């Protein structure tokens, strides 16, 4: 068997194949990042060995097209977290950096970790749609925040006595109030820039709210079970669905916990038994579970009792929250599995002619 590591770029993709038993080079090839190039890479891989695994660095904005092509062609594809690349490259005998060196480092990182432990890629257009909408919303929020920061400095220079509470510039009532104040201000350059920033903030706020409604509708259709979980709102549920990209590809809740970086790592020595924090895994999944844990720790009685019990055992608040996140990973994985089973039952009915919700993507 061979493992084919793939270093993806906008214009070209470079593959380096190694033998699974020895890690020795089996071949390398660079092809255009187009469908003709994908076909060339696939034919080349099939000629090398009948049993193969494609290991692709998990940067889906660049590698997504190749990944979908390989999965649709019946190939086995695993995603290698970029964090593993540095560790693998440090162990390489060849110095320097090139696309071939990176491709071989990806393949050997997959071998070192074990291909069965890495997240497998598969076609899930629903999860991809959610991820694209979430990423677009986060980009808009980031751009709006930068505009808000600039607007605050201009307003402070115009009216030092004006107090604007935190988060106020997300609300239309405050934006209207500032717009009226700017309309009465002297027509200087600073006031003109402030009015332009205000227009952009209004526009982005409307788009963010529209995206949130669309994301909520998608989550309600795909994983309504997650919305019933205490502390899990629509955006958090969407993040869980989008970043997991299919819970059925994970054999157990332990694998999901490892993917999310909430499974404790043994760090024992001699008679001293301890576990350390996992700083790897998908940090977006980890953040989503953390938000649920913090919310439950404030308002959900069973979670508060659990945290109190762990703290009584001598754990710190953060250590107790990590224990709660591990329990939540088990619960979330089961809910995701259930939602995927429900979707598989509903999908044939939709194909027979039942109307499906129309989702409009805001550009």
What is the average pLDDT across 156-181? Answer: 93
User: pLDDT grade, residue 358 (50/70/90)?
Assistant: very low
How far apart are alpha carbons 140 and 143 in whole angstroms? Answer: 5
pTM for the predicted model, two decimal places: 0.73
pLDDT in tens, 224-238: 999 999 999 999 999
Of 74-78, 221-225, 351-355, the one with minimum mean pLDDT is 351-355
Per-residue pLDDT at 205: 96
What is the average pLDDT across 301-325? Answer: 93
pLDDT in tens, 126-136: 787 898 899 99
User: What's the whole-number average pLDDT of the chain?
Assistant: 86
pLDDT in tens, 82-134: 777 655 555 555 566 788 888 998 998 888 888 877 777 766 677 878 988 99
* C-alpha torsion sign, points 313, 319, 320, 325: negative
CA distances from 13 to 43, 98, 307 (A): 14, 12, 48
Does position 359 have pLDDT exceeding 70, yes or no? no
How far apart are alpha carbons 33 and 8 in whole angstroms? Answer: 8
Backbone φ, ψ for residue 127 (5° rounding): -65, -40
Does position 330 have pLDDT exceeding 90, yes or no? yes
Query: If phi over 0 gives left and psi between -120 and 50 gives alpha, with beta otherwise, what is residue 39?
Result: alpha
pLDDT in tens, 191-216: 999 999 999 999 999 999 999 999 99
What is the average pLDDT across 317-343? Answer: 90
Of 222-226, 251-255, 334-338, 348-352, the one with minimum mean pLDDT is 348-352
How far apart are alpha carbons 241 and 131 in whole angstroms? Answer: 8
């Amino acid at each position: 068997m061979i493992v084919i590591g793939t270093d993806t770029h906008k214009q070209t993709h470079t593959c380096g194949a190694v033998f699974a038993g020895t890690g020795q080079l089996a071949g390398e090839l660079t092809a255009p990042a187009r469908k003709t190039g994908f076909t060339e890479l696939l034919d080349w891989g099939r000629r090398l060995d009948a049993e193969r695994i494609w290991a692709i660095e998990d940067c889906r904005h660049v590698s997504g097209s190749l990944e979908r092509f390989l999965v649709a062609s019946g190939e086995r594809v695993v995603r290698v977290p970029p964090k593993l690349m540095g560790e693998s490259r440090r162990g390489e005998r060849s110095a320097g950096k090139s696309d071939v060196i990176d491709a071989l480092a990806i393949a050997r990182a997959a071998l070192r970790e074990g291909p069965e432990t890495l997240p497998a890629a598969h076609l899930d257009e629903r999860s991809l749609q959610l991820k694209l909408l979430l990423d677009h919303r986060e980009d808009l929020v980031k751009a709006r925040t930068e505009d808000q920061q600039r607007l605050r400095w201009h307003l402070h220079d115009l009216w030092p006595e004006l107090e604007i509470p935190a988060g106020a510039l997300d609300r239309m009532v405050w934006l209207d109030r500032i717009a009226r104040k700017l309309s009465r201000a002297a027509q200087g350059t600073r006031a003109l820039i402030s009015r332009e920033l205000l227009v952009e903030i209004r526009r982005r706020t409307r788009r963010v709210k529209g995206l949130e409604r669309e994301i909520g509708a998608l989550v309600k259709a795909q994983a309504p079970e997650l919305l019933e979980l205490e502390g899990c709102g629509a955006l958090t549920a969407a993040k869980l669905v989008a970043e997991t990209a299919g819970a059925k590809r994970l054999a157990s809740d332990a694998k999901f916990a490892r993917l999310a970086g909430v499974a404790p790592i043994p760090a024992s020595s001699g008679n001293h038994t301890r576990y350390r924090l996992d700083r790897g895994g998908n940090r977006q999944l980890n953040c989503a579970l953390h938000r649920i844990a913090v919310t439950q720790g404030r308002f959900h009685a069973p979670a508060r009792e659990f945290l109190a019990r762990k703290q009584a055992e001598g754990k710190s608040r953060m250590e107790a929250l990590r224990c709660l996140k591990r329990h939540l990973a088990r619960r979330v994985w089961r809910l995701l599995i259930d939602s995927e089973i429900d979707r598989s039952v509903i999908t044939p009915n939709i194909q027979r002619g039942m109307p499906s919700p129309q989702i409009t993507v805001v550009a």
